[in-house]
Amino acid sequence: MTLPVFKSHYSLGRSILTLSHEEDDDRIKPASIINLCEKNDFKKLCLVEDSMSGFLEAYINSKEAGIELMFGLRLSVCPDMNEKDEESVKNSSKYIVFCLNSDGYKDLIKIHDLASKDGFYYKPRIDFKNLKKLWTNNLKLCVPFYDSFIHNNILLGGVSIPEFDFTKSTVFFTEDNGLPFDDLLLGGVSSFADSEGHEVVQTKSIFYENKEDFKAYLTFRCINNRSTLNKPQLEHMTSDEFCLESWKEQNAN
């Protein structure tokens, strides 16, 4: 079973789904992740955001709906967060830190605060040296399929070097969204995870409900990118598979 991984509008420009919880499902309004979970009988919500801003609404509304919340923060890890130049950007990659309990939430706040203040360079960043200092057993480290060190090293010529010696276990996410390099990345992830003994979980990133919503999603991305539909200037915008409809198709059998 593929794990659905949602992202909300709190990750600015990345999703058109909200975290509201309303009884009426008015299709004029943006679709709600909480309502989608209820309609599809999801007992757990895996929510990965690019900031901590939406945690409170997600926690309150998921609890009200009787849905267990799995909250993860997706952030950039660079070689040295004190180095603020283009080389450090090139050699940065994304990781997801999940909080496992209430203490883990407090630990995640500390990581986010450090990345947003001391490590900020265009976006919040942290390095492994400081991540290790703040790490506890109340947290879980995951490697996303896109924008990971494997993605950057294979496709972008980066030199992102991972460090996993401070965690009990690390989980690698894989995806299949019909992008031309998905198979290449899958091979890289499988090879690395197998050689190092890491767990691999098949996931599906969900940023909108149906494939027909892709144009609305792309328009939203263009607005935030200050570009146009004719020339969106957005990477990986060649697939309409980042949606709940696609997840249903993959898990139909």
Q: Global pTM?
A: 0.94
Contact yes or no for 65/38 (Cβ under 8 A): yes
CATH number belonging to domain 3-250: 3.20.20.140
Which single residue is written with the structure tokens 């098949």? 202
Rounded Cα distance, 52 and 112, in Å: 8
For 35, half-sphere exposure in the C-beta direction (CA atoms, 13 angstrom radius) is: 17
Rounded Cα distance, 26 and 21, in Å: 12
Q: Provide the pLDDT for residue 27.
A: 57
* Residue ranges, the chain, pLDDT below 70: 23-28, 232-233, 236-237, 253
- 220 sits in the region (left: phi over 0; alpha: psi -120 to 50; else beta) called alpha
Q: pLDDT digits over 169-196, tens only?
A: 999 999 999 999 999 999 999 999 999 9
